A and B are shown apart, each in its own frame.
Chain A
Amino acid sequence: MMRLALVWLALLALLAATAASSFVPLGGWNSALNLAIAAVKALLVALFFMHLSSAGALLRLAAVAALLWLALLFGLSWTDYGTRGTSPAPWALRR
């Protein structure tokens, strides 16, 4: 019970941190910080509220697999979007 309460308080503290940080001009780092905090919050929820910290290997694998496959979607698509400017297909060039 105690541990759950601590996690809850930590989550609220992180919420306050992310909300406050958005008023500090950091340029592109604002979004990075916000997403990092969101990831930490989601990790806390997964580890303690969803008991992933004490779960067996199989359940952890299921959780990681989903994120890995999402990363595949982002990563391999980015081989295209990241290089459209530098190595466009010849037929995509504007003449």
Chain B
Amino acid sequence: MPTTQFDSILERREAAMLGMWLFLATEVLFFGPLFFGYFHSRLASHDAFVAGSHHMHFWLGTINTAVLLTSSFTMALAVQVAQDRGRFLRLLLLASAALGIAFLCIKGYEYASEIPEVARAEGPEQVFYLLYFAMTGLHAIHLTIGAVLVIWTAFISARRAIRVEVLGLYWHFVDAVWLFLYPMFYLLERYSA
């Protein structure tokens, strides 16, 4: 599709990058109230949060973090390859998407195994679970959208370096959100579990 508003590819790239960074800024503030709610509720009911955290699957969460970090790595490689017009671009994109989907599968298994626990929860521990499902769920929605876009880009428009780069920013951001969710939900006073 021809673009009429830009004078050059460079101008277009700069606009796309700024647009994505601004979008990510809105995402930070979109997650903001959840983080604030977590912060407030955890100070208010610390013990319930520790109890809830002990019901999390420590190993699955940790492995999942590694999976996501690796997907970010392959995505970073894909961005580099797209810029250098190098080889294996499609492969790298699909690998990132596959790792993202693997993360979602593990997360789905965790959710399924946690449901009986959640049904039994009472009092402030319910708030822990609400925030857990809201925050990781919102993260999972973002990751799903990311995976769809990455697969779509891999098959349709992988040669457009700007698109790959902008998509990479989104992917890394979603990854970075998880880096905070992981200790917030999985690691509370693990030593006493």
Give the interface of A toward B (CB within 8 A).
1, 4-5, 7-8, 11-12, 15, 18-19, 22-25, 30-31, 34-35, 37-38, 41-42, 45-46, 48-50, 55, 58-59, 62-63, 65-67, 69-70, 73-74, 77, 81
Cα of A4 to Cα of B71 in the assembled complex, Å: 12
Cα of A38 to Cα of B29 in the assembled complex, Å: 18
Assuming the A-B contacts A48-B76, A49-B75, A59-B21, are A15 and B65 also in contact, with contact meaning beta carbons closer than 8 angstroms in the complex? yes
Q: Which one, A38, A46, A77, contacts B180 given CB within 8 A? A: A38
Whether B55 sits at the interface, judged by CB under 8 Å, is no
- Total contacts A to B, CB within 8 angstroms? 115
Whole-angstrom distance between the Cβ of A69 and the nearest chain B Cβ: 6
**Chain B 169-185: CB-based contact to A (< 8 A → 1; otherwise 0):** 10011011001101100
Q: Is the contact region of chain A dominated by helix, strand, or loop, or is it mixed?
A: helix
Q: Which one, A8, A38, A65, A81, contacts B183 given CB within 8 A? A: A38
Whole-angstrom distance between the Cβ of A71 and the nearest chain B Cβ: 10
Whole-angstrom distance between the Cβ of A30 and the nearest chain B Cβ: 7
Report the interface size class on chain B: 35 or more
Q: Which one, B35, B72, B183, B189, contacts A37 given CB within 8 A? A: B183
A4 in contact with B32 (CB, 8 Å):
no
Per the 8 Å Cβ criterion, residues 80-95 of B in contact with A are 80
Closest 7 CB pairs of A and B: A34-B183, A66-B25, A22-B190, A66-B28, A8-B73, A22-B187, A62-B21
Whole-angstrom distance between the Cβ of B181 and the nearest chain A Cβ: 9
Whether B24 sits at the interface, judged by CB under 8 Å, is yes
Whole-angstrom distance between the Cβ of A6 and the nearest chain B Cβ: 10
B72 in contact with A49 (CB, 8 Å):
yes
Chain B residues with CB below 8 A from A31, complex form:
183, 188
Instruction: Enumerate 29 A-B pairs (CB-CB under 8 Å) in ascending A order.
Output: A1-B77, A18-B182, A18-B187, A19-B187, A23-B190, A30-B191, A35-B180, A35-B183, A38-B179, A38-B180, A38-B182, A41-B69, A41-B176, A41-B179, A42-B179, A45-B175, A46-B176, A48-B76, A49-B168, A50-B168, A50-B172, A58-B18, A62-B18, A63-B24, A63-B25, A69-B29, A70-B35, A73-B36, A81-B40
Chain A residues with CB below 8 A from B173, complex form:
50
